[in-house]
Amino acid sequence: MRSLFNRYIAFLFVAGLFTSCADENEPNYQYFPDMYVSPGYETYGSYDIFQNEQEAKLPAEGSIPRGWMPYEYENTPEGSANAKANLTNPLPYTEDNLAAGKELYTIYCAVCHGDKGAGKGILVEREKFLGVPSYDDPGRAITEGSVYHVMYYGLNNMGSYASQTTIEERWQIDHYVMSLKRSLEGKPERAFEDAKQDAQSSEAEGEQMTSEEEPAQETQEETQN
């Protein structure tokens, strides 16, 4: 009985030796260091084996971000005239597209252009912003293509909306702007198109509208004619 007690005391002593020497300010023993220190390279770390000692590499030359589609009309008077004449809206004119366009228009454009598109937005009324045209301005005679072009590049005091909106969103806004133009001109509303095509284009939404290519094809066709 007594020897058991002694062993118990001895065990406590040895256990105490192991635990009491640990320094709380130092990392303790690591049994599986890989769980603490990753053997892989950190994304933006610097390592000798890489060129410029940088782990993060530049994308290969000529690569483009996923979903990004080039816009082929240049930001020049010719590019603008070309887009105005040839570029058309690839999205079907559906209730959904128009409703989405209206929502986006109210967010991005109405402050200047006004809810009706007559160029009397709140900023114009408060004289913070001047020279905003009405969409039925005959001197401008806006088209689907010219509206898209202006959203893409901006025009003088109007900024570009290319970074704030996706390709599809710009075309939705475009439909809404054209519908505002029609009602300013007192024309009847355009009839809605079949929503089936729309389902296809929203499937392509992840790709951000491959249909951007369509207007370019049409341009070619028209120049052939």
Binding site for ligand HEC (CB under 6 A): 108-109, 111-113, 129, 131-133, 140, 142, 146-147, 150-151, 155-158, 161, 173, 177
* Nearest approach, Cβ of residue 44 and ligand HEC (Å): 35
Q: 73 near 83, Cβ under 8 Å? A: yes
Q: Give whichever of 92 and 117 is closer to ligand HEC, judged by the CB atom.
A: 117
Cβ-in-10-Å burial (0-12, 13-18, 19+) of 24 comes to: exposed
Closer residue to ligand HEC in complex, CB, 140/202: 140
Nearer to ligand HEC, 55 or 115 (CB): 115
Amino acid at 133: P
Smallest separation (angstroms) from ligand HEC to the CB of 140: 4
In the complex with ligand HEC, which residue's Cβ is closer, 47 or 175? 175
Least distance to ligand HEC, CB of residue 212, Å: 17
| Exposure class string for 145-174: b at 16+ Cβ within 10 A, else e | bbbbbbbbbeeeebeebeeebebbbbbbbb
CB of residue 154 vs ligand HEC: minimum separation in angstroms? Answer: 8
> Which one, 92 or 148, has the nearer CB to ligand HEC?
148
CB of residue 76 vs ligand HEC: minimum separation in angstroms? 14
